[in-house]
Amino acid sequence: MIDRSEPKLISGNANVPLAKAIARRMSLHRGMSVSLVDARVERFNDGEVFVEVYENVRGEDMFIIQSTSKPANDHLMELLIIADALKRSSAARITAVIPYFGYARQDRRTKARTPISAKLVANMIAQAGIERILTLDLHAAQIQGFFDIPVDNLYAAPVFALDVKHHFRERLQDVTVVSPDVGGVARARELAKRIGCALAIVDKRREKPGEIAEMTVIGDVKGKSCIIVDDICDTAGTLCKAAEVLIEAGATEVHSYITHGVLSGPAVERITNSVMKSLVITDSIAPTEAVLAAPNIRIVPTAPMFAQGILNTWKGTSVSSLFDTETLIPIYEGLYTE
């Protein structure tokens, strides 16, 4: 391993609270102060992104913390320009920590004459000088193959399993994990396996994009506490409709665990007025004031997991150890105690 002093963190504007939380968590692990590199990431009057790094980063192992969330294009350009600034400042290695990878839903051609935007973004990131990616719950696992650089894709399932076991510990036998569509069965099955619960599916059929024609529950949910699991919640239309269908099928209550709370447009209002008792999301995307104020939305922190992932990357040790729930228990100490 190349001899470097300490890992250094730098953040764009996408999710500064998460970046600061990761730095605090790393400070606890290292027993010394770890802070974000002093820099400015601003915009000229015409919208151009400008970056200036105030500290010496020559020969350093740099980690850029930046989700490419809304506004996706602005935050993507910040990531690329920060990487270029670090590369031209002779950083030894540049790793992009992307809690939410935007454009991931455009991972294939769904019809003629459409782009594969996720691949284009992967190319841009590699060309900017980034040598490694650390991300969370890619929308499609095959996106890792779009990159010609190493990609470590962490999973929210181990953290969600801890949360479910804590909040449903008195009635785990009555819990059923539900996939909101056939495509998400593997993700739902993974959580169901971790907590030892049954699995059900909500099969949906669309007449046209954005419009759900019919939903059918596959599996027995009568008298069960249903937990819907998915990676992205955007406008929450499908999620709220699935919750209604589950209640109509006999479920006693419905909760949802979603990794990335995009929550655009009418999403928060829909969730607040829905039959769902709770929606649990991570802080991979910085929550808005409306999200923070919503009575039935709860946020699970990802800083402990990302801090450990960054340290493992820096030290050259296994990142896949973070796939195990048991590994995360000491990392999330105090959060899920009895």
Buried b (16+ CB within 10 A) or exposed e, 299-326: ebbbbbbbbbbbbbbbeeeebeebeebe
Does the pLDDT of residue 97 top 90, yes or no?
Answer: yes
**Percent of the chain topping pLDDT 70:** 95
The answer to whether the annotation marks 48 as part of a ligand binding site is yes
Task: Provide the pLDDT for residue 30.
Answer: 80
Task: Provide the pLDDT for residue 220.
Answer: 93
pLDDT in tens, 215-237: 899 999 999 999 999 999 999 99
Task: Provide the pLDDT for residue 59.
Answer: 95
The answer to whether the annotation marks 46 as part of a ligand binding site is yes
Q: Classify 86 as helix, strand or coil.
A: helix
pTM over 0.85: yes
Q: How does DSSP classify residue 37?
A: P
The answer to whether the annotation marks 163 as part of a ligand binding site is no
Which residues are bridge partners to 175 per DSSP? 225
Residues contacting residue 152 through CB under 8 Å, at least 6 positions apart: 132, 133, 134, 135, 309, 313, 319
Active site residue 193: no
What mean pLDDT do residues 23-39 have? 90
The answer to whether the annotation marks 137 as part of a ligand binding site is no
Task: Provide the pLDDT for residue 1.
Answer: 41
The answer to whether the annotation marks 52 as part of a ligand binding site is no
Give the relative orientation of helices 303-315 and 16-30 as an angle to the nearest 10 degrees: 60
pLDDT in tens, 318-331: 999 898 888 888 88
What domains lie within the chain, and their CATH numbers?
A: 8-155+303-331 (3.40.50.2020), 157-300 (3.40.50.2020)
Does the pLDDT of residue 333 top 80, yes or no?
Answer: no
What mean pLDDT do residues 250-254 have? 97
Question: Average model confidence (pLDDT) for the chain?
Answer: 93
The answer to whether the annotation marks 220 as part of a ligand binding site is no
The answer to whether the annotation marks 74 as part of a ligand binding site is no
The answer to whether the annotation marks 238 as part of a ligand binding site is yes
pLDDT in tens, 149-190: 999 999 999 999 999 999 998 899 999 999 998 889 999 999
CB 286 within 8 A of CB 17: yes
Task: Provide the pLDDT for residue 141.
Answer: 87
Does the pLDDT of residue 130 top 50, yes or no?
Answer: yes
Task: Provide the pLDDT for residue 2.
Answer: 46
Task: Provide the pLDDT for residue 311.
Answer: 95
> What is the sign, positive or negative, of the torsion defined by CA atoms of 302, 308, 312, 317?
negative
CB 66 within 8 A of CB 49: no
The answer to whether the annotation marks 230 as part of a ligand binding site is yes
**Percent of the chain topping pLDDT 90:** 83
Task: Provide the pLDDT for residue 207.
Answer: 61
Does the pLDDT of residue 294 top 60, yes or no?
Answer: yes
Task: Provide the pLDDT for residue 110.
Answer: 86
Higher per-residue pLDDT: 32 or 259: 259
What mean pLDDT do residues 179-202 have? 93
Active-site position among 111, 119, 165, 204:
204
pLDDT in tens, 66-83: 999 999 999 999 999 999
pLDDT in tens, 262-286: 999 999 999 999 999 999 999 999 9
The answer to whether the annotation marks 107 as part of a ligand binding site is no
Does the pLDDT of residue 252 top 50, yes or no?
Answer: yes
* The residue type at 172: L
Task: Provide the pLDDT for residue 321.
Answer: 87
Task: Provide the pLDDT for residue 326.
Answer: 82
- Kindly state the helix (H) or strand (E) to which residue 323 belongs, with its residue range: none
